[in-house]
Chain A
């Protein structure tokens, strides 16, 4: 049955009217309604599955994500001084591998599997974005579910902190952030001023729509799969699943609790050739803070450190944190001959749990107290086209677009016991370096990209990809993603999730 559905989907893609003269969008109602969309299938084939994990896989195919995406844009009013549009993106997907591969099917607990295979984590997941956009004079109001991008850099987020991300299906190296972000219901307002510097005032108010960062489901392709030899895999698997369940269970009830409102403002301007922004965001953390004694209690029960039957209605709280920062873009044509971009952020009062050092190597035991720390981060990027005469003979004289980025962050008043996902205990600060080279071939029908990231906290990756777009509608993409990591086992760290996730990926897409 499931196999039939997948085959039907693939047949549907193949049967699309390729070769016919067709517009890249559908225009209806005298142009008032524009429909655009795409349908694609995205496969991940892992190069290696470690010994213990093979019990959960019948093949090396880790993912077979099939997505249909429709983007209607309806113009309600279009008068001289008033424009009202309804913008939307609907997305429905089906992850077929956990259906086709019985071992993978068994690896995921039923509830998680259902939320993973379809957009069912939250009831409004198929609505990626849906908002009314009203433009009246210098004012612009956008009310509805939206994805927002602040900041100037890629691959790492410093000031781009409005929307949480869904990392269950893809990765920043493979997909742009905007495909990974989760929309939030909000009111966004712009005011275009007549003040010098082309000042644009922007405010955001999110009335209690809080969403978690969605990390990969244990047992799925990107989820935890490598287990400490000292620990039965079933225990570790269930512990991660238990954590994920409770993060979700304890998260603020969306749109029902105004106490978890979030708001922000941004000022954008242009001064002496520099585009700059200043921003402030008062947010509720995407990631929960454990209530120490309760989590200790649960860990004790799970890992058999002691016997306890106490159960609690909640184990995590979601605390308020604030960001102050800014960004800039500047064309430096004399020396760099490229674009300089940068962003800086000061995070105020993030809540951290503390490991209990007395518990030795057992990381699941927390100290009773929760502490607040500030953090500073920045990112600098240089975009510069490179002239490589030899290559220009082959790529239609295109330059190679080079993007080099440096990110650093410091946790102020750092201490080794801070529980921080994705970095070592001694890492007061981390540095990430990224490089991206991109060029086109055959009149831009073929795009090749190399992305690489190295993070001093002990991990990194390399992505090589090629996208072939021969006509108006079909896109063929193939790529590889190879990780490296040397940090120790840690259940929620990215290196843990990514180690042994080296893969090739393929995407077949039809868009209109």
Chain B
């Protein structure tokens, strides 16, 4: 017996430990760039640089957009050729050189730490909105056990890419103003929106202690959003609270405090498909997708080279009154994953959507949306920028975004004002108690 124990201590145990560490070594020893490599290899980059010699600094508009049409979504090309329909004399953007966007060290560290242990749950389950099938849901996600960072740094399937998108945390806490009008391009009429917004990650945290999850988190919250509406005028004083649970079996809680009624109103999840206050986005849209991953079926279509906005500066946005789509975007060559997703709810307002996910950052650069009749309906052009958080970490986040309704010629050119990442926020702010107290 003693002999066996000795053999185990001297041989088996070190061997087991060595196997464990060696298996984790490829991930643990990788640098940030190895975990999240640039989208172009050396030869590809050389070709891109060559192309940039012709195009960098050039203004792309209706006159020359056909020359780069293979690198743009068809919807955008069509729009740029018909600026008058969008209330503009000219729709244009500028080409800038490709720059690698590395993930922040904190996200990379978390990815290295947690991703080796991520696996799909072999069990499916039913939820109020439909079924989550086996191998769709991350095991332990409902308890926050999946940690933080990207669960699939080498994502291959659409579902894995969607889970990566779900892990974006913008420095754990972020504040910004939604600043932009809802524009009727036919009439030139505008309805302004100005809405401070606070978002906190309860789980999947990488930048601000406690990581990876705020404790206690008895309600099992994934993230929460708090928004105050200052404009439009008839909605002034409205406060909105959105609480997402980690467990998809629990419905998200959405509340609105309406100044006119002085009541906290719970919103039905079914209403999430409705457009928000005359804009061209619904509650699930945001700057890409904003709901539980498993509400959709995801399909990876292809990896494609595009020109997308990844180093946008807010000051470059420009438009005239009545113009429903921004001009002045800074766009660069990059690669995206084309990801098609279909909501499992057969009554959902969209029949399908395609996201263009940046392969380096997993940010959504474009999105095309089809209506229930299968006709192209909405288009999202999102502009990404690189910020520093309060802690000094790099944060990759949208600078602005622009949904348009291509059927009704309507759009919402938004730019985020005063963004602040990693600022102090108390979890108390994201409670019903707070919503009741801020209402007068």
Question: A: which residues have CB within 8 A of B?
Answer: 21, 23-25, 36, 38, 87, 129, 131, 133, 135, 140, 142, 146-149, 152, 154, 176-179, 190, 192, 196, 198-200, 202, 268, 270, 273, 275, 329-331, 333-334, 337-339, 341, 383-385, 387, 389, 392, 396-399, 401, 440, 442-445, 469-473, 475, 511-512
- Interface segment, one of B87-95, B201-209, B270-278, B309-317: B270-278
Quick check: A472 and B262 within 8 Å, CB to CB?
A: no
**Further contacts, 11 of them, CB under 8 A, given A329-B265, A472-B192, A472-B232:** A23-B194, A24-B231, A24-B232, A133-B440, A176-B261, A190-B437, A273-B251, A329-B264, A339-B266, A399-B270, A470-B187
What CA separation (Å) do A373 and B428 show in the bound complex?
Answer: 43
Q: Count the A-B residue pairs with Cβ separation under 8 angstroms: how many?
A: 160
Whether B271 contacts A385 by the Cβ 8 Å rule is yes
B432 to chain A: which residues have CB within 8 Å?
A: 198, 200, 268, 270, 275
With A192-B428, A331-B253, A443-B278 as contacts: A198 and B433 at CB distance below 8 Å:
yes
In the complex, what residue of chain B is closest to A135 when comparing beta carbons?
B437
CB B197 to nearest CB in A, in angstroms, measures 17
**Does B321 touch A at the CB level, under 8 Å?**
yes
Q: CA separation between A73 and B436, bound complex, in Å?
A: 18
Closest chain B residue, CB of each to CB of A473:
B233
Q: What are the residues of chain A within 8 A of B233 when measuring CB–CB?
A: 24-25, 36, 38, 472-473, 511-512
Instruction: Determine the residue in chain B with the shortest Cβ distance to A27.
Output: B230
Pair B405/A399 contact, Cβ less than 8 Å: no
Specify which chain A residues have a CB less than 8 angstroms from the CB of B75 in the assembled complex: none
B128 CB–A CB distance under 8 Å: yes
**Min CB distance, B306 to chain A, in Å?**
28
Whether A469 and B128, one on each chain, are in contact in the complex, defined by CB atoms closer than 8 angstroms, is no
- The 8 Å CB contact of B268, one of A154, A177, A199, A331, is A331
**A399 contacts B231, CB within 8 Å?**
no
15 A–B contacts, CB within 8 A, in A order? A24-B236, A135-B437, A178-B262, A200-B437, A202-B436, A331-B266, A338-B270, A397-B273, A397-B371, A399-B273, A443-B410, A445-B184, A470-B189, A472-B191, A475-B234
Q: Closest CB-CB distance, B128 to chain A, in whole Å?
A: 4
Question: Is B286 interfacial (CB-CB < 8 Å)?
Answer: no
Q: How far is the CB of A1 from chain B (nearest CB, A)?
A: 33
Mask of B420-436 contacts with A, CB within 8 angstroms, 1/0: 00000000100111101
CB–CB B433/A200 < 8 A: yes
Q: Which of B192, B234, B267, B275 contacts A339 (CB 8 A)?
A: B267
Count how many chain B residues have C-beta atoms less than 8 Å from C-beta atoms of the other chain: 57
In the bound complex, residues from chain B placing their C-beta under 8 Å from that of A397 are 273, 275, 349, 371-372, 377
B269 touches A333 (CB 8 A): yes
In the complex, the answer to whether B234 meets A469 with C-beta atoms within 8 Å is yes
Instruction: Considering the complex, give the chain B residue whose CB is closest to the CB of A469.
Output: B234
- Which B residues, 221 to 265, have Cβ-Cβ distances below 8 Å to chain A? 230-234, 236, 250-251, 253, 255, 260-265
A35 to chain B, nearest CB (A): 11
Given A190-B437, A192-B428, A200-B437, do A383 and B234 touch, yes or no (CB 8 Å)?
Answer: no
B129 to chain A, nearest CB (A): 6
Cα A392 to Cα B191 in complex, Å, equals 22
Cβ contacts B390-432/A at 8 Å (1 or 0 each): 0000000000000001001010000000000000000010011
Any A CB within 8 A of the CB of B363: no
Report Cα–Cα, A152/B432, bound state, in Å: 15
Known pairs A398-B274, A511-B234; A176 contacts B260 (CB<8 A): yes
Q: With the chains together, A445 CA to B260 CA distance in Å?
A: 18
**In the bound complex, what is the Cα–Cα distance between A247 and B262 (angstroms)?**
29
Q: Which residues of A contact B434 (CB under 8 A)?
A: 192
Top-9 shortest CB links A-B: A444-B278, A24-B233, A333-B128, A24-B231, A149-B262, A200-B433, A329-B266, A511-B233, A443-B278
Q: Is B347 an interface residue (CB 8 A)?
A: yes
Known: A334-B128, A469-B234, A472-B231. A444 touches B275 (CB 8 A): yes
- The docked-state distance in angstroms from the alpha carbon of A471 to that of B233 is 10
Kindly state whether residue B287 has any CB partner on chain A within 8 Å. Answer: no
Q: Does B66 contact A (CB under 8 A)?
A: no
Q: Which residue of B lies closest to A338 (CB)?
A: B268
Closest to A399 in B: B274
A469 and B191 in contact, given A190-B436, A392-B372 (Cβ under 8 angstroms): yes
Check if A472 sits within 8 Å of B190, measured CB to CB: yes
Any chain A CB within 8 A of the CB of B182?
yes
A339-B268, A392-B372, A445-B278 known; A148 vs B191 contact (CB < 8 Å): no
Known A192-B437, A198-B432, A333-B128; judge A36-B408 contact (CB<8 A): no
Assembly CA distance A287 to B274 (angstroms):
43
Among B129, B265, B347, B440, the residue within 8 A (CB) of A333 is: B129
Chain A residues with CB under 8 A of B262: 147-149, 178
Name the residue in A147, A440, A445 with the highest tally of chain B Cβ atoms < 10 Å from its Cβ: A445
Question: What's the least CB distance linking B408 to chain A, in Å?
Answer: 7
How many Å from the CB of B264 to the closest CB on chain A? 7
Across the interface, which residues of A come within 8 angstroms of B277, CB to CB?
A: 444
Q: Shortest Cβ distance from B434 into chain A, in angstroms?
A: 8
